[in-house]
Structure 1
């Protein structure tokens, strides 16, 4: 595969390897994956569809950058968004669970945070939901490292959490 057709030039080698392992395990276990992304803008979905031969483990991605899209596409309650804010544990969990409910995937990873601006630059909440299991949450404080580096770190955490949930 031509590297210019994938995210490969921008992704650290160990993250690509971890993505391959995740997708191989998902295929072996017949688990389909989905993403619900805000601050990563679909980068995780792109990474999961870059791997030839096993990308079929990925079912779909939701890019929900606004509160309205989180509500409309994932069913995150408007009251929750208003009360807790889009960058919160509660919203991340609702996003992940909504992605499983509104797709054919068995498991979904949600990410919402401040990539480079906001109340706390680098604050990101992750949630991983899988049918029949308790939804996992993780909060990261990457600091003001910039939009690109924050997004790459989000990919790393997302792949880790999905691998752990398998």
Structure 2
């Protein structure tokens, strides 16, 4: 159980000690896994995230598309999952500013540029004004790994110590890769 003050897990126990150790790093900002490639400088809170990141340097792509006849390969399973929509009529990435939808989030991001000069004044919340929407459940949209905990903390609630042991400023987006 995490006893960190204001932890959003609300005293839910961890099934394994290593998961608690990994979780505590959300609060402390510790990132003990540096990328060994010269000049990179990235550091990670979880060894699994470092393993996935290293593939950006090595070019390794162990995840092959499971659609018959498609030879595409990916460095991580979440990119493969996003790719699978191109083989179906499923277009889960919906534009909130018009009726268009897309098979991949990058296509929606590219499309959103046509709306940049006409921001929506109907809703002032950051999420609504972004124009992004997905009919896919959030767990399928965000990049995750099967070994990650199902816990999601907002970076703002997790900040107690914003520097890692190496003195580098924390980049919370790396925590949820």
TM-score scaled by length of structure 1: 0.29
Which structure's residues are more often helix, by fraction? Answer: 1
Which structure's residues are more often strand, by fraction? Answer: 1
